[in-house]
Amino acid sequence: MAEESRRDVPFDLAGFMESAFLMGIGVLEMTREKTQDLTHDLVERGRVSQSEAKKVADRIGEMANEQQEAMRTAVTKETDKVLKTSGVATREDLDSMRAEIAELKSMLAKAQGQAPESAEPTDEA
C-alpha cells in the first residue's frame, strides 16, 4: 500500500536532477571563494607564503571536486532507484522492445509467406 501511494505522487525527475546539479555547483563555487578569501587573508597576515597558500587552495579545490563527483554519483544512484521503482521504461528497455518487435514482424511476415518489412526498428518514440 505504501509503495502504491508513492507512485501516485508525481515526481519531477528533471527538476530534481537540475536542483541537485545546481546545488553542487553552488557549493563548489562557495568553497572556492572561501578558500581564496582564507588564503588571501593568511598571506596578508604573513602566516603563510604565497606558494603555500596556493598549495592549500589547490588541495581544497581538489577536495571540493571530489565531493562534487561523490554527490553526482549519489544523485545518479538515487535517480536510478526512483526510475526502477516508478516503472518508467529506460532507453535500453525501449531499444530492446523495438528490436523484439522488428524480429516478431519478420517472423510473422515469413509465416504468412510475405517479404519481411524492414528489420531495422524505427526511432519514432
Got the DSSP string for 27-46?
A: HHHHHHHHHHHHHHHHHHTT
Percent of the chain with pLDDT over 90: 14
Q: What angle do CA 51, 56, 59 make, to 5 degrees?
A: 125
Q: Mean pLDDT score of the chain, rounded to an integer? A: 77
Contact criterion met (CB below 8 Å) for 17 and 79: yes
The whole-angstrom separation of Cα 125 and Cα 118 is 17
Residues 33-84: pLDDT tens digits? 787 788 888 888 888 788 888 887 788 778 878 887 888 888 888 878 877 7
One-letter amino acid for residue 61 of the chain: G
**Tell me, what's the pLDDT at 100?**
97
pLDDT > 70: what percent of the chain?
79
Q: Comparing 60 with 121, which gets the higher pLDDT?
A: 60
52 CA to centre of own chain: 36
Structure confidence at residue 8 (pLDDT)? 53
pLDDT band at 13 (very low <50, low <70, confident <90, very high): low
Residue tagged 588571501 (cell numbers): 40
Residue 10 DSSP symbol: -
